[in-house]
Structure 1
Amino acid sequence: MINNYLEGKIPMELGSLPNLLELNFAKNYLFGTIPLSLGNLSTLHKLSLSHNNLVGNIPSQLAQLSNLEHLSLSFNNLSGMIFDTGSLEGPFGSFQVCNVQIYGDFVVHIGSFTGETSKFSVGDKVICKVDYDRRKLIAPNHTCMHMLNFALREVLGNHVDQKGSIVLPEKLRFDFSHGKPVKPDKLRKIASIVNEQIKAELDVFSKEATLIDAKRINGL
């Protein structure tokens, strides 16, 4: 079912298909989270869900599929936040990180070596250097995403629910549920609220909070 125009969520029922060897839903318009039931496909050898609009975390159940030889989840919006790039430097030389993906309980850093051995060893001490010039472009868009969430709820109501997002150096996208088209006058009001907050140059700060407390923060 690759490269079609399929829309909607991945059916949970897929997880009950017996003897399935390959599942390919790449290059469609699928959204939502990856069903935990896919972790039941013990016979699966290949799973491709790349180039969709999936969000959320990758289920750790996928890491338990002993027969899985190929997993492709690239070009989705899993977790919403774009990864940092930079380098890991140590006795092996320098490893340039150009991509970061989550697989089960692992955070996989993808890139290339420049330098001496071109090899990591257990116990190596490394210095992590983040590309802060790139992050400085991402951070304001991340803040604006929360401002947009706040404005949407102020204008459309608290029923607005985030369905996905992507935060990049050059832009942001925010997917939400509303049930009907947003009228032009309301769009202008939403944009006005966000622009007013930007012009106010409000202080931005970080604070650790429990999940329960975080959910009470309007716009978060």
Structure 2
Amino acid sequence: MSYDAKTRTITVNQDSDFIVDSGYYFVDTLRKLAFTSNAPPQIKSDWQVIAAWLDNEGQEGLSDYDGELIGTAWKAYLGAGIAPSRELQPLFDSVHEQYKRDGVEYDSAKPPVEVKRVFDRLLATEAEIRANSKNDRNAEKDRSEPPLKSLQSEGKKSWWRRQSRNFRRWAFVSVAWPIAVFFFVAIFDPFNNGSWRYMDDEEYIQMFTVMAVPFLTGIVSHLYTKWVK
């Protein structure tokens, strides 16, 4: 820890972690402000949240253990990449990407929601937080609307349109082909009977066999894809 609570300074050197130290600085500043005689109610309330989290009322200062807990939680807070204001989002994005590249694991150290809200107020005003929260909701709405509209559109489609293109093609050919075969037999009389009405049983079987080719081909193809391929 390179933060000196007495002088309220951060010493930056090769062994220091400015992100951790800055978190300690902000929380310690909040603690000191909370004990001033004219501290605003929000400052006092925020410190009570931190004090309950640390299990330390803070009148005697923060312990080394408190500093480690604050530093770790602050690091996880920034690493999550969710800034309290639009102006700070690039910084949070940068830290998030840096942690990803370095393989830093921080999920287990994320602070409780109430503490995170205090951290937000340490870096941004209520107006900035509300504006950013509204933008986040709008962005989430924009992200969710396309698939929602797609689902709604999908629900309005007829049963036929909801089927796959291959199924529709197979069903269409299975119906159109027998009709075409029947008209071919009726018009061109391939069995030389003078009319399809005079066809015998064997000729009917031959005609129906030809009619069933697309239907049977589709069934065999489906079974092959499902059980063999």
TM-score scaled to structure 2, two decimals? 0.17
Bigger strand share = 1
Bigger helix share = 2
Quick check: which has more Rg, 1 or 2? Answer: 2
TM-score scaled to structure 1, two decimals? 0.18
